[in-house]
Structure 1
Amino acid sequence: MGLAIDASCDLPREFLQQHDIAVMPIAVRVDESSFKDDRDPAEIERFLKLKLGSRSHSAETEPCSVEDVQKLFLDKLVLEKDCVFCLTVTATRSPIYDNVVKASFAVLKNYRKMREPAGITGPFLMRVLDTRSLFVGSAPCIVEAVRLIQANESPAAIRERLAYIAENSYGYMLPRDLYYLRARAKKKGDRSVGLLSAVLGSTLDIKPLLRGYRGDTTPVGKVRGWEHGCETLLHYAAERVRAGLLVPVMCTAYGGDLSELPKLPGYDKLAQACEDCGVTLMQAPMSITGMVNVGEGAVTIGFAAEEHHVEF
């Protein structure tokens, strides 16, 4: 069994390579610069070095198409695996999930034409799952999928468990630049961040804490000051670790030089909580797609936990 994800799911490149996880790329174009977002650290570094920053809100992104997914599977994955789970960003924020579902019909119809000449017998299974979150919020589902595959669970059992984890996955983000976030949201027709919020955020240095949960992305709190915001978010993450997680991993991502992430206020306490509780603390650079959509410098966390009330 194998896994495939889209490039917006924030996980370390080393983790993806270690577990042979295929990445469905997203094409990004900013002015005259083009990028293939496939979680390649070199490509992320090139994006950051070009300092496209404030101009990126007008970028064009092209999520992997139905044809791209078909090609990836029929040319490669059906020859390497017997069953592949595709985990994608929430369908409420991107067409990727729908594209993969559409592609799966052609893959399941035509895979024998590819496998039989290669001497591969038996059926091929393709299962598509909406993680119900986005960016690093999708990561706990993927980490759990790896564990289940390593435990030799059946495809039916894996699907059932991943659906439960997806329903209980949380992704939180502290954006650095509300004007950028609003400009990008306006371009995409997303009214979730209004002009008033952007103006207030700039004038009073008030930042929203945004949450992706069960397909919905909404502000769930606000904090004054960037550093205080980081400390508030990471302190909350440490509290969730100590309260107990459904998947023993706390995933973090940063929209910039990853070496800056451990220096943020509150990160040391989160690291200590993870060490005390036997929870893996992951660090990943935010995808190019993520930075284009929310701006550079965003801090994000992702975890899976039982439903709970939160106040910031």
Structure 2
Amino acid sequence: MRIGIVVDSACDLPLDYLQRNGITILPITVRIGGATFADHRDEEATLEFLDAHVAERGAEAETVPYGAEQIKALFLERLVAEYDYVFCLTIARTRSPIFENAQQASFAILNDYKTPRLAAGHASPFALRIVDTQNIFAAQGVPAAEAVRLRDAGENPVRIRSRLEEVAARTQGYMIPRDLYYLRARARTKGDRSVGLVSAALGSALDIKPVLHCNQGETGPVAKIRGFEPAVEKLFDFTVQRIRAGLLTPTLCLSYGGALDGMRALPGYARLRAACAEHGVEMLESVMSLTGMVNVGKGALVVGFAAEDARFVA
């Protein structure tokens, strides 16, 4: 059976990984003033656009995900002929309408797939499953990487579906933003009051950085640490502990709101990489999507992994 995997462009996985594993991208369009950028996970283009626009006006940007009609067209024009079963993994439905758009499109796809599929010489049924990863950015990549691993191991769609739902519920995403003023400005633009002016001003004045945790679609602070680099080092060391305790999947995903050399120079990174190598964990690193950087600011770091117990201890 030919199994396809689809993700939206907020899913932080390296472009070469996406291409090598035949993963289809639902691009998210970013509009800032008169400039428009369709995010296809091209890291070089993302960094160029970032330098040109996001620093000045990113908080005002509009992000436009694929709508139901666009998703339907992508499937009927291409995917129903290329695959027999497709898993479409989206950013948390609590943070974006992409999941709902894909769900809406799925009904029309399943009603209309027979004609284009027969035209391509396939008489067998087509099926798809929309999966809410319940997470964001690098942490979205964990269930997607597990889908690739299971598909390549020859697992059937029923087993993959069950496993993806299990992994999504246990995927832990951790983020450390650099600029709380930016985060607050962006939150206000979107009508999200989770970052108040007083906390942003106080945090910036004292150089306090929150560690934000996302699991099962819920995001909130779990620690406050003075200084970005000390916060990152504590998060990296915490992740090393989780790796040594045993992850639920052999994958760790990281994304960074800038060139990856900047992330690799952060304290604790070398220990994290060594722990992954020692325990057979694949470390997937990517430049954060433009959608992610628009929403959380330049220089933010996200770490994602699947684990049963992941209570952060600073």
Same fold (TM over 0.5): yes
- Please say if 1:278 is aligned against 2:268: no
Residue equivalent to 2:239: 237
> 1:12-60, CA deviations, whole angstroms, 9 ceiling, x for partnerless residues?
0011001100000011011121100121223212212315314100001
CA RMSD in angstroms, aligned pairs only: 1.0
Count how many residue pairs are aligned between Structure 1 and Structure 2. 312
**Aligned partners of 2:186 and 2:311: how far apart in 1?**
30
Query: 3-state DSSP class of the match of 1:140?
Result: helix
Query: 3-state DSSP class of the match of 2:113?
Result: helix
**Amino acid across the alignment from 2:306:** A
Deviates more, 1:150-159 or 1:169-178: 150-159
Query: 3-state DSSP class of the match of 1:191?
Result: coil
Task: Show structure 2 runs of 5+ residues with no match.
Answer: none
1:227 is matched with which residue: 226, 229, 234?
229
Alignment of 1:245-256 (within 5 A): 245-256=247-258
Alignment of 1:283-294 (within 5 A): 283-294=285-296
2:27 is matched with which residue: 25, 37, 52?
25
Contact 2:242 2:310 in 1 (8 A): no
**Amino acid across the alignment from 1:280:** E
1:71 is matched with which residue: 48, 70, 73?
73
Deviates more, 1:110-119 or 1:127-136: 110-119
Query: 3-state DSSP class of the match of 1:92?
Result: coil
Query: 3-state DSSP class of the match of 2:249?
Result: coil
2:104 is matched with which residue: 102, 105, 127?
102
Deviates more, 1:116-125 or 1:174-183: 116-125
**Amino acid across the alignment from 1:221:** A
**Amino acid across the alignment from 1:110:** D
- How big is the shift at 1:250? 1.1
**Aligned partners of 1:54 and 1:175: how far apart in 2?**
17
Residue equivalent to 1:172: 174
Contact 1:171 1:211 in 2 (8 A): yes
- Please say if 1:261 is aligned against 2:245: no
1:80 is matched with which residue: 68, 75, 82?
82
Residue equivalent to 1:144: 146
Query: 3-state DSSP class of the match of 1:52?
Result: helix
**Aligned partners of 1:310 and 1:292: how far apart in 2?**
26
- How big is the shift at 1:248? 0.9
Alignment of 1:133-212 (within 5 A): 133-212=135-214
1:44 is matched with which residue: 43, 46, 51?
46
Residue equivalent to 2:64: 62
Among the aligned pairs, what percent are the same residue? 48
**Aligned partners of 1:310 and 1:257: how far apart in 2?**
26
Deviates more, 1:109-118 or 1:16-25: 109-118
**Aligned partners of 2:268 and 2:313: how far apart in 1?**
17
- How big is the shift at 1:63? 0.9
- How big is the shift at 1:119? 1.5
**Aligned partners of 2:101 and 2:301: how far apart in 1?**
28
If the length of structure 1 is used for normalisation, what is the TM-score? 0.98
Contact 1:35 1:43 in 2 (8 A): no
Contact 1:36 1:43 in 2 (8 A): no
**Amino acid across the alignment from 1:62:** V
Contact 2:172 2:310 in 1 (8 A): no
Q: 1:295 to 1:308 in 2, by over 3 A?
A: closer
Residue equivalent to 2:125: 123
Residue equivalent to 2:15: 13
Contact 1:54 1:180 in 2 (8 A): no
Query: 3-state DSSP class of the match of 2:248?
Result: coil
**Aligned partners of 1:177 and 1:256: how far apart in 2?**
14
Query: 3-state DSSP class of the match of 1:50?
Result: helix
> 1:196-232, CA deviations, whole angstroms, 9 ceiling, x for partnerless residues?
2101111100010011111101011010011111111
